[in-house]
Chains A and B, each alone.
Chain A
Amino acid sequence: MMKKAYKFILIIFFILILSVSLFWLFRGKPMPTESLVEGRVLGLPENSYPTLKIALEYIQQGRFDLALDLVFDLYTSGSLQNKFDSAIADQFPLRMPLIRFSKAIDRVIIQLSYSFTDDNIFPADMTSDIYIIPDLQALIYPPKTIEEEDYASIDNRIANYSDLVSLFPNQNFYIYYLEILEFSPINPLLRFFPKADMGQAYSYLKAHLPEEINTGIFELNEMNDHLEYFFRTDHHWNTIGILKGYRSIYGLLSNNYANIPPILEPTSMVPFPGIEFKGTLARKTLYPIQGDDFIGFEADFPECIIKDNGVPIKLDFREEYLRGDYSTTPFLGHYGLYFGTQEGIINYDCAVNSDRNILIIGDSHARPLVALIATQYKQTYFMDLRQDENFNLTDFLHEYQIEDILIVGGPNVVFLNDELWEISVN
């Protein structure tokens, strides 16, 4: 019997289950620390356990009880095990090729499933809830539904805005809402989502906002607006959209700012040949799509000193890009590199003919605007509340003289997510 039986499966199976740990043991080079394609830091045994490092320090100091408490808490909460699981999943050999293969299988199954329909927009993969419009080579999110609890959040935000204008009557408040496809009435998937928001939540906000707050909107009136002003593979707006938004905000700010310095207009638009920008949506789905063109612009920016949390920094690589000094590596985060990223509160101190100061509150959509709006103000401050959940406007206004406060961004920043984006006051 044994002679006839093939031991094939036995040998291959054991080779396979042993090969992974052998790969980790003998790979001969450090494990990768980040995934460029996914745009995230990868789990590593040594990086995944900062608490363990502290525990080791306690042991070295002879404080065994503290070390034991720390490790025991980590273990009993399951956090130790979860992080270990994540780290070894992240360090699995051939992980990205396997993920790409799995996504390819996803697409075959999706194609098969939709071949019985007359749809022309399809899910781009099976896990991300992102769709592909093949004709336009655009990845999009489906429409969002606003539930009752979301309206409770909106009411909280409205109450917060009312508090702001009553507590700070000497400041001008502005809200600039960036309408995105998920919350707009032009999403091409609307027919499948009868309960979709379609802009109703923003209308509700606007109807209930105190009249002291000045509002503006970056409106999407047709699908072409989305294609013109947003990346096809990323959730951000592109340079054309950013400039349009800036002009619109400039007009809004001018209402209460009589001697506003002239608007900064680009002297030329600068394409960056060789860059095929593949943003968040392309990363999440790994859909084989032509990347976006990435375009910058030249303009007569004034001299500015830029600080991040009070420390002078080089915020972005705009000048390098314009010089042609950029990488064309696929999936590189060009948006963040070109427009900059920050760790705390950003301050632009610019040599402009103005003595007014502004505080801008927003997310990554707002960041490219800061350099532009800074050309109208002496001091421009930018705060992304995700980076400082303890931010308090009362304290800030005690410390800095601010005339204008601009809140700019999409639905989360402007009216949803009251936990993160509500502006704290004393």
Chain B
Amino acid sequence: MPFSSITFIFLFLPITLILFYILPKKGWRQSILVLTSLGFFAWSDPTHIHVLIISVLLNYFGGRIIGKNLEENSGRKVKIYLWVSVFLNLLLLGFYKYTGFFLNSIEAILPISIDYSQKALPLGISFFTFSGISYIIDVYNEVHPPEKRLIGFSAYLIMFPKLLQGPITRLIQIKDELANPKFYPLGIMEGVRRFIGGLAKKVILADSLSIATNKIFAENFNDLGAGIAWFGIFAYTLQIYLDFSGYTDMAIGIGQMLGFRFPENFNFPYISRSISDFWRRWHITLGAWFRTYLFIPLEFARRREKHLRLQSNLLIVFLLTGLWHGASWNFVLWGVYYGVILALEASRFGKTLKKTPPVLQHAYSLILIVVGWIFFRINDIQNWGAFFGALIGLNGWDNIVTFRSLNILFYIPFLIPSILFSLPFMHRLGEKAKAKGGGSLLILDIVYIILFLFTITFIVSKGFTAFMYAEF
């Protein structure tokens, strides 16, 4: 049940909000969150509801056992329970997500044949598994005590707004709100604005661009001219941001309507001045997760190594970041690509870059980001060469495949609002209106309502498509 479906917007959301608002006690509100979240998942992915329940129970009891042993000061046991809990989480993720990839890779290397059919990936498994691991490690590190009530813990782990695509939230970030779920009209109003903005980004812009990019990337790249190839990857660059940040806006907005403040996931990544800057602005909660639970421990564990420690740690972290995105070599290499660039930026090159004019820094970052999306979008590595060939004009500016032959000429104007909504300009305009209040705020809200009606018109007329990050 995507957030952009009619079922969600006009049935699931109002029913959930009404139930949540009318229930007088915090425990009931937690229960309704758990029940609606289970219903949300069961509707979207009925065959994997048991995976979600296993994850809840695994992390709940894992946290309780670790907490109990911490109280008893049994250090060795705690470590064992920590590793077992983390291992079981990774096993769950690995079993569904990486078994096929692992066996295929073995088949490619060794002269053996393995009979294995790829299992369907449980929705959101990468997100709720990482939330579970963060909870276990935070309990171990005594960031917070283990959650005593199963309902309270379940509400944290499987809360529907963030269940399928994040933001990956640590318990500490919403602990107070979870303990005493409350809602305020101002928070709800802000949530409504955020939800509408995200919905419009997804439905009007990302979904429209996706039609164009899907057509382009389905073609034989040897038939693409440079013009359409550049349009394709540029449009994809905007599409993936608008799709994922649109989802995040909706998730954060629904969270606000329910009285939760989830962490931000994006901070206008395409205005970055370096790739390090980009990864502080793109999928922030995933970056924070890897930094907190992998990079910093790696740095600590290897603190005595002097030579290329930081660079090699960055490479490891980003290789795994790539692998987290998908079980295929293009994602691994996409991660390595960023690992190498970040390793370079962590060296002397980074200092030189900072001394160049800002416009060059932006250009450098944007070009590398766009190139990165090529690795991300084209699963078959063998086709990368042909696409790069098209980009540099080996097939000429125009070729057999054109805007007209694909019937996508009319998607070109979508680039303008897509660019505007990818830059801070529109956001600042909205913030100014909110700060001014009065008539400006009223006008802003009227714009939001018109945008909502317009978006619903789009959904009714053209349908809706799945979110891109749902497959990770």
Chain A residues proximal to chain B, CB less than 8 Å: 1-2, 4-10, 12-14, 16-18, 20-21, 75-76, 78, 81, 84-85, 88-89, 92, 95, 98-99, 101-103, 105-106, 109-110, 112-114, 117, 119, 123, 126-127, 129, 142, 189, 192-195
Contact across chains for B185 and A10 when beta carbons are under 8 A apart: yes
For B461, the closest partner residue in chain A by CB is A102
Docked pose: A108 CA to B410 CA in angstroms: 10
CB-contacts of B285-303 with A (<8 A): none
Does B9 count as interface, using CB distance less than 8 angstroms? yes
For A126, what are the chain B residues with a Cβ–Cβ distance below 8 Å? Answer: 208, 410, 462
Q: Top 7 closest A-B pairs, CB basis?
A: A102-B461, A9-B445, A192-B404, A20-B10, A113-B410, A99-B461, A98-B460
In the complex, 5 of the A-B residue pairs with CB atoms within 8 angstroms, ordered by the A residue number, are A16-B452, A88-B7, A92-B460, A109-B413, A119-B404
Does B359 count as interface, using CB distance less than 8 angstroms? no
Count A-B pairs with CB separation below 8 Å.
Answer: 119
For A1, what are the chain B residues with a Cβ–Cβ distance below 8 Å? Answer: 186
- The 0/1 profile, CB within 8 Å of A marked 1, for residues 448-459 of chain B is 110011001110
Point out the residue from A12, A13, A89 that lies within 8 Å of B460, measured CB to CB.
A89
Does B437 count as interface, using CB distance less than 8 angstroms? yes
For B438, what are the chain A residues with a Cβ–Cβ distance below 8 Å? Answer: 4
Contact across chains for B405 and A98 when beta carbons are under 8 A apart: no
Does B47 count as interface, using CB distance less than 8 angstroms? yes
Contact across chains for A81 and B43 when beta carbons are under 8 A apart: yes
CB distance from A8 to the nearest CB of B (A): 5
For B407, what are the chain A residues with a Cβ–Cβ distance below 8 Å? Answer: 123, 129, 142
Most B CB contacts (10 A, CB to CB) among A81, A106, A123 go to: A81
Does B14 count as interface, using CB distance less than 8 angstroms? yes
Does B463 count as interface, using CB distance less than 8 angstroms? yes
Docked pose: A7 CA to B404 CA in angstroms: 47
Does B369 count as interface, using CB distance less than 8 angstroms? no
Docked pose: A20 CA to B452 CA in angstroms: 14
Does B441 count as interface, using CB distance less than 8 angstroms? yes
Q: Given A85-B5, A92-B6, A126-B410: A10 and B462 within 8 A (CB)?
A: no
Does B409 count as interface, using CB distance less than 8 angstroms? yes
For A117, what are the chain B residues with a Cβ–Cβ distance below 8 Å? Answer: 409
- The 0/1 profile, CB within 8 Å of A marked 1, for residues 1-37 of chain B is 1000111011101100000000000000000000000
For A99, the closest partner residue in chain B by CB is B461
For B461, what are the chain A residues with a Cβ–Cβ distance below 8 Å? Answer: 98-99, 101-103
Most B CB contacts (10 A, CB to CB) among A112, A113, A119 go to: A113
Docked pose: A95 CA to B1 CA in angstroms: 20
For B463, what are the chain A residues with a Cβ–Cβ distance below 8 Å? Answer: 89
CB distance from A300 to the nearest CB of B (A): 48
Most B CB contacts (10 A, CB to CB) among A4, A17, A95, A114 go to: A17
Extra inter-chain contacts (6) besides given A21-B10, A99-B460, CB under 8 Å: A21-B14, A81-B43, A88-B7, A88-B11, A98-B456, A123-B409
Docked pose: A192 CA to B398 CA in angstroms: 11
Does B189 count as interface, using CB distance less than 8 angstroms? yes
CB-contacts of B29-77 with A (<8 A): 43-44, 46-47
Docked pose: A299 CA to B188 CA in angstroms: 72
Q: Given A127-B462, A192-B405: A7 and B185 within 8 A (CB)?
A: yes
Point out the residue from A89, A101, A110, A194 that lies within 8 Å of B400, measured CB to CB.
A194
For A107, the closest partner residue in chain B by CB is B410
CB distance from B331 to the nearest CB of A (A): 26
CB distance from A380 to the nearest CB of B (A): 41
For A7, what are the chain B residues with a Cβ–Cβ distance below 8 Å? Answer: 185, 189
Does B344 count as interface, using CB distance less than 8 angstroms? no
For B15, the closest partner residue in chain A by CB is A21
For A113, the closest partner residue in chain B by CB is B410
Contact across chains for B410 and A123 when beta carbons are under 8 A apart: yes
Contact across chains for B192 and A13 when beta carbons are under 8 A apart: yes
Contact across chains for B14 and A98 when beta carbons are under 8 A apart: no
Docked pose: A129 CA to B406 CA in angstroms: 9
For B7, the closest partner residue in chain A by CB is A85
Point out the residue from A17, A103, A129 that lies within 8 Å of B9, measured CB to CB.
A17
Does B442 count as interface, using CB distance less than 8 angstroms? yes
Docked pose: A136 CA to B188 CA in angstroms: 54
For A76, what are the chain B residues with a Cβ–Cβ distance below 8 Å? Answer: 46-47
CB distance from A281 to the nearest CB of B (A): 15
Does B323 count as interface, using CB distance less than 8 angstroms? no
Does B200 count as interface, using CB distance less than 8 angstroms? no
For B404, what are the chain A residues with a Cβ–Cβ distance below 8 Å? Answer: 119, 189, 192
For B7, what are the chain A residues with a Cβ–Cβ distance below 8 Å? Answer: 84-85, 88
Does B216 count as interface, using CB distance less than 8 angstroms? no
For A20, the closest partner residue in chain B by CB is B10
Contact across chains for A102 and B442 when beta carbons are under 8 A apart: no
For B441, the closest partner residue in chain A by CB is A6
For A143, the closest partner residue in chain B by CB is B405
Point out the residue from A4, A78, A102 that lies within 8 Å of B462, measured CB to CB.
A102
CB-contacts of B400-427 with A (<8 A): 400, 402, 404-405, 407, 409-413
For B449, the closest partner residue in chain A by CB is A12
For B410, the closest partner residue in chain A by CB is A113
- The 0/1 profile, CB within 8 Å of A marked 1, for residues 64-98 of chain B is 00000000000000000000000000000000000
Does B283 count as interface, using CB distance less than 8 angstroms? no
Does B281 count as interface, using CB distance less than 8 angstroms? no
Does B133 count as interface, using CB distance less than 8 angstroms? no
For A10, the closest partner residue in chain B by CB is B189
For A114, what are the chain B residues with a Cβ–Cβ distance below 8 Å? Answer: 409-410
Q: Given A1-B186, A18-B14, A192-B405: A78 and B46 within 8 A (CB)?
A: yes
For A106, what are the chain B residues with a Cβ–Cβ distance below 8 Å? Answer: 410
Contact across chains for A4 and B437 when beta carbons are under 8 A apart: yes
Contact across chains for B14 and A9 when beta carbons are under 8 A apart: no
For B456, what are the chain A residues with a Cβ–Cβ distance below 8 Å? Answer: 98
Q: Given A14-B14, A16-B452, A194-B400: A113 and B413 within 8 A (CB)?
A: yes
For B186, the closest partner residue in chain A by CB is A5
Contact across chains for B186 and A102 when beta carbons are under 8 A apart: no
